[in-house]
Amino acid sequence: EPEVTQTPSHQVTQMGQEVILRCVPISNHLYFYWYRQILGQKVEFLVSFYNNEISEKSEIFDDQFSVERPDGSNFTLKIRSTKLEDSAMYFCASSEARDSPLHFGNGTRLTVT
Amino acid sequence: RKEVEQDPGPFNVPEGATVAFNCTYSNSASQSFFWYRQDCRKEPKLLMSVYSSGNEDGRFTAQLNRASQYISLLIRDSKLSDSATYLCVVASNNNDMRFGAGTRLTVKP
């Protein structure tokens, strides 16, 4: 069964550094998402992406964050100047259509020290 | 009012019990509804979609009540392996998915 893959599985970075989280969505999916989950808290929507542009973003997704689909397969989340409170699990997801179920990657655990 | 609200639990039930979770949503225009399960420190995984007429998948039954804006999940004959957090997911205005905080279930021998 095709799956969403994310790398790295764990990223440790120092406060103020930039990180790039990578995702390879399922190949025939058209909608891509990033979510985050702070330990012990709910899954929070960050951003959705379709047709090479952001379709919606949450309040969390401020100027510190950006997304990109640099080629036909990768979907990246960049966090500039990381803060301690950015420490969380970041999940990438993709779906075939707008109202189709999301398929999640295994997540990247980001630890900012 | 939160977009998607769930009873946080925890629910602690014995094996074989029947347990039900409810979830309410605020956007009356929501069109798509799902239940996901999430194991500790893992990604959410789709359990089932929720259809207007209600649907069943083995021991799991999902119901949608549009008038009252809630969905439910019923688990019959619960197994130890059902222990997880169950997430209610609702499509927002433009069909982007919003998650409830989850209901934690522990099934005990």
pLDDT of residue A69: 92
Instruction: Give the model confidence (pLDDT) of A73-86 as tens digits.
Output: 899 999 999 999 99
Report the residue of chain B nearest A107, measured CA to CA. B43
Residues 55-84 of B with CB under 8 A from A: none
Predicted confidence band at A1 (pLDDT cuts at 50, 70, 90)? confident
pLDDT of residue B27: 87
The pLDDT > 70 percentage for chain B reads 96
Give how far Cα A112 sits from Cα of A21, A68, B77, Å. 13, 22, 43
The beta-strand segments (E) located in chain A are: 5-7, 10-13, 19-24, 31-37, 43-50, 53-57, 65-68, 75-79, 88-95, 103-104, 108-112
Q: Phi, psi (5° rounding) for residue A14?
A: -90, 150
User: What gap in Å lies between CA B57 and CA B75, rounded to an integer?
Assistant: 10
Counting Cβ atoms within 10 Å, is residue A99 exposed (0-12), middle (13-18) or buried (19+)?
middle
Higher pLDDT, A97 or A2: A97
Predicted confidence band at B94 (pLDDT cuts at 50, 70, 90)? low
Q: Which residues are within 8 A (CB) of A72 and not within 5 positions of it... i.e. 6 or more apart?
A: none
Interface test with B, best of A5, A23, A41, A42 (most B CBs within 10 A): A42
Report the residue of chain B nearest A91, measured CA to CA. B43
A55, A101, A105 member nearest B34 (Cβ): A101
B31, B43, B87 member nearest A99 (Cβ): B31
CB-based contact B5:B23 (threshold 8 Å)? yes
